């Protein structure tokens, strides 16, 4: 299905690719410069897509947005205020987003959602913020079943602060 929607994924990671300590922990370890960039970016988006764990870690903020929560726990679309719970196994997400006339959509994770969107060609741009830490263990950015090679093209590099938080902007290239 052809769509004019632009999907932009945002992710903040450690040097070793970790986004959180566990599935239920938030991203309170990121820099305020990244937070500012992130909030400014979200203000230009029509809607956000998150997984159920990510939704729970930031429910208060996400309830104020047009939020689509991908979840395997329901069969039918469920609407609560501006939040839609959708099981992509039973509901066509592109169909839903098109009907809503959303043009710019932010993908906010977690790993299964990033991966679902990647597999379904729903990542056009990817913003990666790398904070200067090594965590050694935790939750990784993408969570796929097997090794694949998705090509991206680097569009820009920006240093966000003195300690060395960097922001990379990629475009999907496959």
Footprint of its own copies (CB under 8 A): 13, 15-18, 21-22, 29, 115, 118, 126, 128, 130, 132-138, 140-155, 157, 159, 163-166, 168, 170, 173
Q: How far is the CB of 82 from its own copies (least distance, A)?
A: 30
33 alpha-carbon distance from chain centroid: 18
Which residue's CB is nearer to its own copies, number 17 or number 88?
17
- CA 12 – CA 18 distance, rounded (Å): 8
Q: Is 4 or 137 the residue whose CB approaches its own copies more closely?
A: 137
Q: Could you tell me the strand order of the sheet in which 67-70 lies?
A: 78-80, 83-86, 67-70, 47-51, 104-107, 6-13, 125-130, 166-172
Task: Give 64 or 163: the residue with its C-beta nearer to its own copies.
Answer: 163
Q: How far is the CB of 15 from its own copies (least distance, A)?
A: 6
Closest CB to its own copies among residues 96, 140:
140
Element (H, E) at 51: strand 47-51
Q: How far apart are CA 135 and CA 24, in angstroms?
A: 16
Please state the φ and ψ torsions of residue 48, each to the nearest 5 degrees: -125, 150
Work out how close the CB of 145 gets to its own copies at its nearest, in angstroms, rounded to a whole number: 6
Residue 124 CB, shortest distance to its own copies, in Å, is 13
């Amino acid at each position: 299905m052809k769509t004019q929607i632009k999907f932009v994924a945002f992710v903040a990671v450690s040097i070793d690719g970790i986004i959180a300590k566990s599935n239920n922990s938030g991203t309170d370890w990121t820099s305020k410069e990244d937070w500012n960039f992130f909030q400014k970016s979200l203000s230009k988006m029509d809607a956000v897509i998150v997984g159920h764990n990510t939704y729970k870690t930031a429910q208060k903020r996400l309830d104020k947005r047009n939020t689509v929560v991908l979840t395997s726990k329901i069969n039918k679309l469920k609407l609560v205020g501006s939040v839609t719970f959708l099981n992509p196994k039973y509901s066509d997400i592109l169909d839903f987003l098109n009907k809503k006339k959303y043009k710019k959509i932010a993908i906010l994770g977690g790993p299964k959602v990033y991966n679902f969107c990647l597999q379904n060609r729903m990542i056009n741009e990817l913003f990666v913020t790398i904070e200067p830490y090594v965590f050694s263990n935790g939750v990784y950015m993408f969570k796929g079943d097997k090794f694949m090679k998705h090509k991206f093209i680097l569009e820009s590099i920006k240093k966000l602060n003195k300690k060395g938080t960097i922001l990379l902007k990629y475009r999907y290239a496959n």
